[in-house]
Amino acid sequence: MLLLIKRPLAVIGLLLGSAAVQADALQPTVNVTAHRVATDIDASLSTVSVIDRQAIELGGSIDLVDLLRRQAGVDIVRTGGVGGQTSLFLRGAKSNQVLVLIDGVRASSVTAGLFAFESLALEQIERIEVVRGPRAALYGSDAIGGVIQIFTRRSSGASGSLGVGSYGAASADLGYTHAFERGRIGLRLGYLDIDGFSSQNEDGFSFDPDDDGQVQRSISSFFDYDFTALALEGVANRSHSLVEFDRGRSDIVNSNASVSLRGGEQQSWLLRASSARDKLETADFFSRFETRREALDWQHSLNLADGGLLWGLSALSEEGVSIDTFSGSENYGDEREQLAGFASWRADIGPLNYELSGRHDDYDQYGGSSTAQVALGWTLDEDVRLLANWGQGFRAPTLNELLSPGFGGLFAGNPELDPERSRSTELGVDVALSAQAALRLRLYRSELTDLIDFSGGDTFQAINVARARLQGAELEGAWHWGAWQFDGNLGWQQAIDRDSEADLLRRAPRKVNVSAQRSFARGLVGLDLHAVAARPEFGGELPGYVLFGAFARWQVSAPLAVDLRLENLGDVDYELARGYNAPGLTAMLNLRWDSAAR
């Protein structure tokens, strides 16, 4: 298995190398996450991948987790099937060290610091932007490993889909957007029901052989209105999931909403007010967590002939509570406030491009945290570009880490905690081999200090003590040849505890993704491969695995299409987390209709 990953697949990855690079060299794509303003990916000084709506549909995944695992630098650990608790590692940084935004709004839990990727329906998503590497100098806390921003759908006219698949999966969604003279208003409803399979196996600590499924309901809406000089926009999203596991069921509600006002061209500005709520209740554990977050953000950008200047302010108020539902008493509850200011200067001097960014965050609980970032780009010729990036990051402690009473006094929080901190360096080269082929190579290294660990004395209280080093390389490539398209990425990484020199758990040292597809007059077919090397886990190393998939689309008519996705064609038995099952051979068939595609 390891030889397969190390040698033949490495060669394949080198020759083909991700759909992300396709956007760089073959089809420049605009992103807004890397620099907080719209920027072509081929002009960005950050490493960015964009997953658009077509890629989401052709990917054929039933949830966001399966889609993200194919991206360079991303490791996914899911406890069971669809709806199972999910951890995401970005360049080795853990879930609470990755900033997640939905339509510009922070989406992670105030108490746990994690975003529930399993709770967001794919049919509600228009595009996903993944920025790898620290962006704390623009976004503040959590953006150590990078930023993942999800944009919800705003399709034209009427659209919808019906899907059926393995493990009793059934899905449906329906959306409609009404356009009038100076604006639009839209609504989308979604439903997913899957019987699933037993989340744990005999090695699990609470194994129960019954099926563990999920029922999810989602709704999103938006409006925009153009006042000529100003534009008003509003977005609201809500999902409600009932997720089964071997010891019971969790009831999860996530919602967010925002209203934005923007204006200007040469000098553009944005003012956004947002609110986010989440609730996690597990009756079998007599626990309920509720959080809320309100934010007010303002940014102003000035476009100049040789670059641009960006600056802004942010105000954030967060509150979280943990409740014992058996007694009705509160385990803990608190709120905190934060103010921040940031600025960024980008300029082009002949073949040299550079960016200087800085931010200061002030929390009422433990004071301030300043971060900076410097990025350089050098265009050798029209086919080769060199990049260098240095940046700082930090993560504010969660309310759990600050205030949790623990278990009988053990593993309790600590209100004296300081933020976790990081310093990262990245070197890269982009090469356009031809008008149809491109390669992108990145080398990175991050040093993390003041990491929060539960090792304080006899009670294992949370303290700032741990240190880590995350380093690796990513090779991505794309090649178009007539009706054929080849995309892929190959990653190496080493994530170690600097005190013990032990490998950090659940980060794969090598990973490969390769896909090939062939287009026809009324559709396409394709194959892909996802290979992961053996990686450290609780109780010993988990073996590597190789998964093959296939996908096809038939365009029945202009507005009507049929998509088929087959996962794990070899029905490989593998684990993402010890004691938890992963899906076997899986099929998903979707019928899609879009009135705008006439």
515/505 Cα distance (integer angstroms): 28
Domain annotation covers residue 267: yes
What's the average model confidence in pLDDT over 455-478? 91
Structure token pair of residue 331: 């385990």
Domain annotation covers residue 48: yes
pLDDT of residue 9: 36
**Does residue 467 surpass a pLDDT of 80?**
yes
In this predicted model, what pLDDT tens digit does every residue of 357-408 receive, in sequence order?
999 999 987 788 999 999 999 999 889 999 999 999 999 999 999 998 888 7
**Does residue 50 surpass a pLDDT of 90?**
yes
362/340 Cα distance (integer angstroms): 6
In this predicted model, what pLDDT tens digit does every residue of 329-344 receive, in sequence order?
998 889 999 999 999 9
Per-position DSSP letters for 403-423, written without gaps between them: H--TBTTBT---TTPPPEEEE
User: What does the angle CA 525 – CA 531 – CA 535 come to, to the nearest 5 degrees?
Assistant: 160
In this predicted model, what pLDDT tens digit does every residue of 174-212 receive, in sequence order?
999 999 999 999 999 999 999 999 999 988 888 888 899
pLDDT of residue 598: 66
Domain annotation covers residue 420: yes
Band (7; pLDDT cuts 50, 70, 90): very low
Residue with tokens 């004395």: 457
What's the average model confidence in pLDDT over 70-86? 90
Task: List phi, psi (to 5°) of 342.
Answer: -145, 160
256/184 Cα distance (integer angstroms): 20
Structural domain boundaries, residue 240: 2-506+514-533+551-597
Q: Among residues 146, 149, 148, which one has the least CA distance to residue 422?
A: 146
- Residue of higher predicted confidence among 387 and 113: 387
Q: Among residues 62, 18, 76, which one has the least CA distance to residue 190?
A: 62
- Residue of higher predicted confidence among 305 and 513: 513
Average pLDDT, the chain: 90
In this predicted model, what pLDDT tens digit does every residue of 551-586 receive, in sequence order?
999 999 999 999 999 999 999 999 999 999 999 999
In this predicted model, what pLDDT tens digit does every residue of 198-257 receive, in sequence order?
999 988 888 888 899 999 999 999 999 999 889 999 999 999 999 998 888 999 999 999
* pTM for the structure as a whole: 0.93
SS3 content of the chain, % helix, strand, coil (to 5): 10, 60, 30
Domain annotation covers residue 575: yes
The amino acid at 120:
L
Band (3; pLDDT cuts 50, 70, 90): very low
Phi-psi sector, 248: left (phi>0), alpha (psi -120 to 50), beta: left
Range name among 26-40, 285-299, 372-386, 531-545 with the lowest pLDDT average: 26-40
CB–CB of 178/156 below 8 Å?
no
Domain annotation covers residue 544: no
Largest CA distance in the chain: 69
**Helix, strand, or coil (residue 297):** strand
Tell me how far CA of residue 88 lies from CA of 85, 186, 373, in angstroms.
10, 31, 24
7/490 Cα distance (integer angstroms): 12
pLDDT of residue 118: 83
User: What does the angle CA 25 – CA 30 – CA 33 come to, to the nearest 5 degrees?
Assistant: 120
Q: Where are the alpha helices (DSSP H) in 383-482?
A: 399-403
Domain annotation covers residue 542: no
Range name among 11-15, 187-191, 267-271, 499-503 with the lowest pLDDT average: 11-15
CB–CB of 19/528 below 8 Å?
no
CATH code of the domain containing 57 = 2.40.170.20
Beta-carbon neighbour count of residue 549 at 10 Å?
21
Band (1; pLDDT cuts 50, 70, 90): very low
pLDDT of residue 28: 58
Give percent above pLDDT 70 in the chain.
95
**Does residue 25 surpass a pLDDT of 50?**
no
- State how far Cα 299 lies from the chain centre: 23
Band (531; pLDDT cuts 50, 70, 90): very high
Band (14; pLDDT cuts 50, 70, 90): very low
Q: How many domains does the chain have?
A: 1
Residue with tokens 């409803």: 189
Per-position DSSP letters for 211-261, written without gaps between them: -EEEEEEEEEEEEEEE-SSEEEEEEEEEEEEEEEETTEEEEEEEEEEEEEE
Domain annotation covers residue 292: yes
Beta-carbon neighbour count of residue 348 at 10 Å?
16
Q: Among residues 144, 25, 18, which one has the least CA distance to residue 71?
A: 18
208/40 Cα distance (integer angstroms): 50
pLDDT of residue 66: 84
pLDDT of residue 460: 84
Domain annotation covers residue 157: yes
In this predicted model, what pLDDT tens digit does every residue of 309-323 receive, in sequence order?
999 999 999 999 999
393/397 Cα distance (integer angstroms): 13
